[in-house]
Structure 1
């Protein structure tokens, strides 16, 4: 039997939820739907959203040495254009991870990993 869910919402811990939500808002073009000091939500529509929760002790991990338990995959039609946008917004490209043909690995300003993936 499956859970009777009404919503599935990934949440990223970070030291500054508002700043990180603004990064992803600008990267994805989504809308901030809930903006509090310790919690900010960003949504594309009623079924696709992402939230950011304050954790003043959050520190990004080194991948693969420290392991990463989750990351975001963002599918785009043009990897080069998407990379330029991500870098202009403050993302950092992770060298040696991801080829130029299928996907590229980045860190957001708080240190979370995300991949830009060719559609």
Structure 2
């Protein structure tokens, strides 16, 4: 079957795209792309921040982008009143070592942990994501 399209990225809504891009850059080691294709630079001449920032994945593969949303409201997980809609998983060889590093860069461990081979965290603006034992 011939593909219709190529998956390019997942975009996360947030109040400050540059700050959340730095957080996920620290997790993945990917560089922040300061001039997304067909988009504005990270900062405008008047000092205003761009409303879109994305990471540059090695080899140009699919990546993560961050989109500014006014009056951003974080998801509440678990629950259905304001659901997460989507989440990211990151494979790690050592959950404890990875957790220590995550907490140091601003992640919060969620109080509800439903499994033994993965852990749920919240990024600085409340998006749930998981570390998964690889």
Deviation digits for residues 85-118 of structure 1 (CA, Å, limit 9, x no counterpart):
110000010012243x300000000110100000
The residue aligned with 1:57 is 71
How many corresponding residue pairs? 118
Q: Which of 47, 64, 85 is the matching residue for 2:61?
A: 47
Q: Which runs of 5+ in 1 are unaligned?
A: none
Q: How far apart, in 1, do the equivalents of 2:112 and 2:7 lie?
A: 36
Q: How far apart, in 1, do the equivalents of 2:128 and 2:106 lie?
A: 13
Q: Which runs of 5+ in 2 are unaligned?
A: 36-41, 43-49
Question: In the TM superposition, what is the alpha-carbon distance from 1:56 to its structure 2 partner?
Answer: 1.9
Q: How far apart, in 2, do the equivalents of 1:85 and 1:26 lie?
A: 9
The residue aligned with 1:91 is 107
Partner SS state of residue 9, structure 2: coil
Partner SS state of residue 26, structure 1: helix
The residue aligned with 2:128 is 113
Question: In the TM superposition, what is the alpha-carbon distance from 1:49 to its structure 2 partner?
Answer: 1.0
Q: How far apart, in 1, do the equivalents of 2:85 and 2:9 lie?
A: 16
Question: In the TM superposition, what is the alpha-carbon distance from 1:76 to its structure 2 partner?
Answer: 0.7
